Amino acid sequence: MSAQLLLFQVLNGLGIGMIYFLLSVGLTLIFGLMRFVNFAHGAFYLVAAYLAFAITQATGSFWWALLIAPIAVGLLALVVERILLRHTYKMAHEVQILITFGVALFAQEAVIFAFGPQAQNVPMPAALSGIVFLGPYVYPAYRLAVVGCVAVIAILLWIVVERTKLGATLRAGSENTEMVSLLGINVDRVFMITFALGGALAGLAGVLAAPIRGVEPFMSAEALGIAFVVVVVGGLGTLSGALLGGLLIGFVQSIMSTLWPQGAQLMIYAAMAIVILTRPAGLMGRA
Amino acid sequence: MKRRTFIQGMAATPFALAAPRAVSTASADAAPLDIAAVYSLSGTFANVGALMNDGSKWAFEHYGDVLGRKLNYVLVDDRGDAGEAVRRVQELMTQNNVKHVIGCTNSAIGLAVQKEVFARGGVYINQAGADEVTGKDCNRASFRWPVASYSAVNATVRPLIEQFPNAKRWYTITGQYVFGDSLLTNCKALFKEKGVEHVGNSYHSLSDREYSGYIATALAASPDVLAICNFGNQTLDVVRQAISYGVKRNAKILAIWSTGLDQYQALGPENCEGVYFGCNFWHGVDSADGRTIGDIVKQKTGNVPNYLQACGFAVAQVLIEGIRKANSVEPAAVISALEGMTYEGPTGTETIRKEDHQVIKPYYLMLGKAKSAMKDANDFADVISATKAFLPPDQTGCKMT
């Protein structure tokens, strides 16, 4: 591999990694605070992607989809949490996994019922459908915009988590929920907000990914798999871990696409295995 | 006479498909005939399996009965797992005495099921694409409707090489499994024959959804043509991502095996324009049977038929018409009837080659057109060529057992 191609694959890996970060950050927030294993995370990504498809079809504008779909999915997550999931917080992880897996299957079947089993296209916004030149290589303008958008979201999330009262509550809650509760903070409400935020972030990832990958009813499984890998690599419950994990997986996948194409996907899981063996709590996780 | 819709010559009339219902002789006393249909309704290729399943079911509804026995559709959802498919078929054949099997969603499943059906004395009509199905792994029980990967490559890559003699550098992106490898092997042989430089290949796994790394590697090789050796949603993703990375600026894109209309719809005209696709069936090609399928699909979905629906229909049709011709449901008689049978199929007059049980039919090379050039919502592409490109029987490697 030439140095030029290597450099491009690193840049490409950065783009992939930022998308993976967005995909996994909601999952890590939910687990970090609530110690809740959310197998429905991919379902929120799926539903948002299909909402993006429907809204773009109806309005002819991707921007409306970008505005409406994450909020709608955040509200959907809130409803699911209120009606179903909050009753499982004190139950074993196995129960949570089963129930959220059921929610994911329901969402998948609902999407097939509503839109059919075929894949669909979400056109890129016209203003971002071109390419930009990076030396001898080209990079899609839309992906560049997604990288910028996710970078802004990462900064905003960092500010919220590290510099606001809500963030302090979230961090304290992730350390000791009972103590936070004794201090008079309504933990139930914090859980609800966190779950809705996690769902909205998964929804945002679904909307942004739709023009890159199209939409199809089984896309949630891949998204969930990647999100879990990123969270495990970065460390469960840490924002910086999700970013680092996403970027690492993006770099591995992109560079291995040239070095050992048939093993690129395998190397994602090999990277995860190496991290688990050397740092069981993840790169940024606390043991 | 009317029972035999496959009599040569007669089959060319529109009555070929209308006849089965008209001459239905179903008897209330006759036991239903169970026919197993093996499709993946979940997993990577579930979108493919679901539409093929629709096509097969609609064929059963269309025919209703055969030789006075009601057709009973027994769906086997293999969940994308060849092992599961074999287990379920084995169960049906041993415990329920099912002898007639149709369908498969990918080549790995098709190959596994055809061995099982042969071993248990049944008859199997499938739509696997890998050469082995009618090549070294052929057997007397199994028949294949779509073309083999050899045919797909020679009906798409060859005309493109001849049309663009200056396009000397080809890069391939290949799904690493039986069918992808089969397409790649045929590409390599053709590149060698035509003196074309194969500047590289990127294999990817069946679980990949992100192809930008492979596309960057391909771009670094400066190809004139990027050929995709795969099928299903992964092909869509590669096309979509290749276009977003500007591949079309300096190279042509060829999806050697596409499923046609449903994939064009999934890509949208902006991603189809200027892209070459290979395809087994196109609703715009007129034929008597194609019109019948068109009417059925229009009634069911309000739309025109796509390849997957037509293919699902075709495998069921071949079996049912074979039973009619044999005037028996016994697998041995049906197999004998199918060998050499000529009939009016979805692409026109089709023949089943006796030597390897391959249906001889055309494969289309299509070119996606601009949205502004589309005459209607389904007019995504023009047929550039229709080619019947098949290995001579003595070169397929098929030793019929």
> Do B142 and B116 touch, CB atoms closer than 8 A?
no
A60 in contact with B, Cβ within 8 Å: no
Residue B10 is predicted with a pLDDT of 40
Task: Parse chain B into domains and list their residue ranges.
Answer: 10-147+285-360, 150-279+363-394
Tell me the chain B residues in contact with residue A142 when contact means C-beta distances shorter than 8 Å: 244
CA distance B64 to B373: 41
Cα distances from A153 to residues A72, A149, A243, A247, in angstroms, run 18, 6, 11, 15
Give the residue with greater pLDDT, B6 vs A263.
Answer: A263
Token pair 């929120």 is found at A44
Rounded Cα distance, A45 and B209, in Å: 15
CA of A187 to nearest chain B CA: how many angstroms apart?
38
Domains B10-147+285-360 and B150-279+363-394 share a fold: yes
> How far is CA A130 from its chain centroid?
25
Residue appearing with tokens 């016994």: B330
Q: Which residues of A touch B219 (CB under 8 A)?
A: 137-138
- Strands in B359-360's sheet, in edge-to-edge order, are B342-345, B348-352, B359-360
C-alpha to C-alpha distance for A274 and B229, rounded to whole angstroms: 32
Q: Please choose, from the candidates A30, A16, A14, the residue with its C-alpha nearest in 3D space to the C-alpha of residue A231.
A: A30
pLDDT given for residue B131 in this prediction? 85
Give the single-character DSSP code of B147: P
Contacts of A213 in chain B (CB under 8 A): 209-210, 237, 240-241
CA dist., res. A149 & res. A70, Å (int): 14
Confidence (pTM): 0.85
**CA-based end-to-end distance of chain B:** 32
The answer for B373, left when phi > 0, alpha when psi is -120 to 50, beta otherwise, is alpha
Task: Classify burial at B78, counting beta carbons within 10 Å of its beta carbon; exposed 0-12, middle 13-18, buried 19 or more.
Answer: buried
Write out the CATH class of domain B150-279+363-394: alpha beta
Domain ranges of chain A: 23-218
Mean pLDDT of A184-200: 91
Distance from CA of B238 to the nearest CA of A (A): 9
Residues of A in contact with B262 (CB under 8 A): 118
Handedness of CA B41, B44, B47, B49 (dihedral sign): negative
pLDDT digits (tens, 9 = 90+) for A145-157: 999 999 999 999 9
> Is the predicted pLDDT of residue A244 greater than 50, yes or no?
yes
Position A68: which residue type? I
| Chain A hits for B46, Cβ within 8 Å | 117, 217-218
Helices vs. strands in chain B: H and E counts, helices first? 14, 16
Per the prediction, chain A carries an average pLDDT of: 91
Other beta carbons less than 10 A from residue A178's beta carbon: 9
Task: List chain B residues with CB under 8 Å of A217.
Answer: 46-47
User: Who among A137, A214, A266 is closest to B216 (CB)?
Assistant: A137
Each of the 401 residues of chain B gets a pLDDT tens digit; together they read: 344 443 444 444 443 434 444 444 444 457 999 999 999 987 767 888 999 999 999 999 999 999 999 999 999 999 989 999 999 999 999 999 999 999 999 889 999 999 999 999 999 999 998 889 999 999 999 999 999 899 999 999 999 999 999 999 999 999 998 889 999 999 999 999 999 999 999 999 888 888 999 999 999 999 999 999 998 889 999 999 999 999 999 999 999 999 899 999 999 999 999 999 999 999 999 999 999 999 999 999 999 999 999 999 999 999 999 999 999 999 999 999 999 999 999 999 999 999 999 999 999 999 999 999 999 999 999 999 999 999 999 999 999 87
Q: Which of A214, A256, A262 sits opposite B237 (nearest CB)?
A: A214
Structure tokens at B64: 């209703």
With contacts defined as CB-CB under 8 Å, which chain B residues touch A105?
none
| CA dihedral of A109, A114, A118, A122, whole degrees rounded to 10 | -120
- In the block, tokens 């190496």 appear at A274
**CB-based contact (8 Å) between A193 and chain B?**
no
List residues in chain B touching A: CB distance below 8 A. Answer: 42-44, 46-47, 50-51, 176, 202-205, 207-210, 212-214, 216-217, 219-220, 233, 236-237, 240-241, 244-246, 249, 262-263, 265-268, 270-271
Residue B64 φ/ψ, nearest 5 degrees: 80, -55
Question: Taking the CB of residue B242, how many other CB atoms lie within 10 A of it?
Answer: 25
Neighbours of A63 (CB within 10 A): 12
Residues comprising chain A, all counted: 287
Task: Quote ipTM for the complex.
Answer: 0.87
In the predicted model, is pLDDT for residue A211 greater than 50? Answer: yes
**CATH entry, B10-147+285-360, from 3.20.20.70, 3.30.420.40, 3.30.450.20, 3.40.50.2300:** 3.40.50.2300
* One-character DSSP codes across A82-121: HHTGGGGTTS-HHHHHHHHHHHHHHHHHHHHHHH-SS-B-
| CB atoms A131 and B246 under 8 Å | yes
Whether B244 and A117 lie within 8 Å, measured CB to CB: no
Concatenate the DSSP letters of all residues of B204-270 into one string: E-TT----HHHHHHHHHT--SEEEEE--THHHHHHHHHHHHTTHHHHSEEEEEEE-THHHHHHH-HH
List, in sequence order, every residue forming a beta bridge with A139; answer none if it has no partner: A132
Which residue from B46, B236, B246 is facing A214, i.e. has the nearest CB?
B236
DSSP string for residues in A53-83 = HHHHHHHS-HHHHHHHHHHHHHHHHHHHHHH
Whether A27 and A198 have beta carbons less than 8 Å apart is answered as yes
- Please state, in angstroms and as integers, the Cα–Cα distance from residue A21 to each residue in A26, A124, A243, B115, following that order: 9, 21, 5, 45
Q: How many Å lie between the alpha carbon of B188 and the closest alpha carbon of chain A?
A: 18
User: A8, B202: Cβ pair inside 8 Å?
Assistant: no
Strands, E assignment, A93-225: 131-134, 137-140
What local confidence, expressed as pLDDT, does residue B29 receive? 54
* Nearest-10 crossing angle of helices B178-194, B149-163: 40
